[in-house]
Structure 1
């Protein structure tokens, strides 16, 4: 039986991890044979004063009273069986939905435990506006936990943190899954005597910035015959700061990451803080890359670290893993690719969402 649903989300930048995951989930729901989906998306605030004003009313991302009223009207008009809310930062809206439509099933996806994520960001700046964001985030997330019919997190750690913070764990786990972009015809055959190519991918926000800055200072000077390439939205702003050794190249914002993955021998992921799961780990698996990453980079993933690459939690681990890496003919790790296909692919996401939405 066909189920009618409404998907509610802010419009995320499609080049960020959150944007990639959001687009993939929306695509699965839109193309599902047993779901008739109505999409309601709204832009995030760009004006900082407008953002601050609505934050003082308890709202985040881009939500306003006018947007909330419009969403309520669409629910009245469409009579959905379920509502899928693509964040835990719209708790105030969830409260209004459940009070107006107590019988509708509201499924909320927590990309992170946003309070933990925002708290870590606040630690790096200690600015008053960040503290306000932290308080409003806690308020909305608490409401989301209270009013959601079903809570989905990306991993068990986030579920446990929700239980500690708000007294309720997740009802289900939905690991990051991505639409497949891998093209085997693009694999490069190269066994020449050349430097190893290490790729770092990530947008320029606090966890990525401090992670790669640490790597540049504590690992880059000590690895042999390695070219380190840094790609991601906004990193061009830190080009002079990070290119302090000859073996580092900061590319920054690009239209497509695919070519960089094909050309890389391995991916480095020196991430020490955060919540949720790291999209770039799933992306690296998709392209069949060997990954040298921290415990945080691998959080929520289930695979053999030694077969994917190496678990590296300090500088010595990274240096040893990189120095001992042997160049391969196709720059390709079969085990990584198979882990993506088995656990983190579009088909896997379809299977899990069918279970949570269609079969209930």
Structure 2
């Protein structure tokens, strides 16, 4: 009998919008390739805020369930008034205002109705979904995506780090397995939670183009989160002005909404696929100044065999900070020099490109991720 997985991801993983979404879709592909039946759960408010449709790939997912924060108000509806009363008698989840008791109850009904073998929750701040303690001996798995305490500290330096980190560890400890995607975070969480922590880096199929015509010198792909906005401001304030005038740059994603038109810069707010743009580009850039966790955009670039020029944060979470296809420095002048060296020295470019391809194959291939997920899902 085919085993069943309930996969919770708050946004639509088929929206092709950002790195976290891309990785969620990649995991669904892997789980389907392992032979599992998959149902998907999302949050209605998140779909609305993100402008996501309810379109899903039925080759990967059988059913989509959307959870509402509150029941619909109807005359004489006991369910609605029970919800209103619960607001008085229970405290809001301070780390996730969307996680209401009504959502928890709705999630429990889905789990108990179909008796899933595995429940996979994405993000620590949704851990409360399993507070009711699933029955039927289901295996519960949390995919962390990130070290949330550190991520929130970057956004709010006044955060009470000790309290938030204790909450994070307690939330992760509710699960049978804890998935990390970064070597750094794996080291931290494993120290507190032991062998239940498993590191499964992001994975992509490889697309190593060799003879395709190059239209762009540099490519950057990013959503409009605060870290990408800061990074591109730094790049355009400090690196762009000292680059040669004939440099061609393409920037793809919602980050474009925060950028002005400049000479030699092509802005593409949305593209259904990135293959064409990566194949037409020579170098990927990742000038991240803040943010935690492994950078999906860097791994995606490596999957196309592109050398990456970035700040030191670009290789966060990597098992090796050298010989990985990435050239990093936080000094704008040196950052610029690394770009120019790759563009002007063909043998140097080929050497770094070869490193990128080799490091990707050894660390981020779909085959490696599939084996690791198979081990996690073996009871």
What TM-score, normalized to structure 1?
0.79
Higher RCO structure (Cα 8 Å, ≥6 apart): 1
Aligned to 1:274: 291
Once the two structures are TM-superposed, the CA of residue 217 in structure 1 deviates from its matched residue by: 1.3
Change (3 A) 1:79 1:206: same
Q: Deviations over 1:69-107 (max 9, x none)?
A: 2321232233333321122121221222x2x43843211
Once the two structures are TM-superposed, the CA of residue 249 in structure 1 deviates from its matched residue by: 4.1
Given that 2:229 and 2:258 are in contact with CA atoms closer than 8 Å, whether structure 1 keeps it comes out as no
Any unmatched runs of 5+ in structure 2?
A: 51-67, 70-83
Given that 1:9 and 1:85 are in contact with CA atoms closer than 8 Å, whether structure 2 keeps it comes out as yes
Given that 2:208 and 2:303 are in contact with CA atoms closer than 8 Å, whether structure 1 keeps it comes out as no
- Given the alignment, which residue of 335, 351, 356 partners 2:355? 335
CA distance in structure 2 between the aligned counterparts of 1:27 and 1:136, rounded to whole angstroms: 36
Change (3 A) 1:17 1:43: farther
Any unmatched runs of 5+ in structure 1?
A: none
What TM-score, normalized to structure 2?
0.75
CA distance in structure 2 between the aligned counterparts of 1:92 and 1:118, rounded to whole angstroms: 18
* Aligned-residue CA RMSD (Å): 3.7
Aligned to 2:56: none
Structure 2 counterparts to residues 210-249 of structure 1, below 5 A: 210-224=230-244, 227-240=247-260, 243=262, 246-249=263-266
Structure 2 counterparts to residues 1-360 of structure 1, below 5 A: 3-12=3-12, 13-33=15-35, 35-45=36-46, 46=48, 57-58=92-93, 60=96, 62-96=98-132, 98=133, 100-101=134-135, 103-122=137-156, 141-162=168-189, 167-168=192-193, 171-180=197-206, 182=207, 184=209, 187-189=211-213, 197-224=217-244, 227-240=247-260, 243=262, 246-302=263-319, 305-306=322-323, 308-327=325-344, 328=346, 333-358=353-378, 360=379
Stretch deviating more after TM superposition (70-79 or 108-117): 70-79
Given that 1:198 and 1:267 are in contact with CA atoms closer than 8 Å, whether structure 2 keeps it comes out as yes
Change (3 A) 1:90 1:119: same
Once the two structures are TM-superposed, the CA of residue 343 in structure 1 deviates from its matched residue by: 2.0
Aligned to 2:62: none
CA distance in structure 1 between the aligned counterparts of 2:328 and 2:49, rounded to whole angstroms: 41
Given that 2:299 and 2:360 are in contact with CA atoms closer than 8 Å, whether structure 1 keeps it comes out as yes
CA distance in structure 2 between the aligned counterparts of 1:17 and 1:189, rounded to whole angstroms: 26
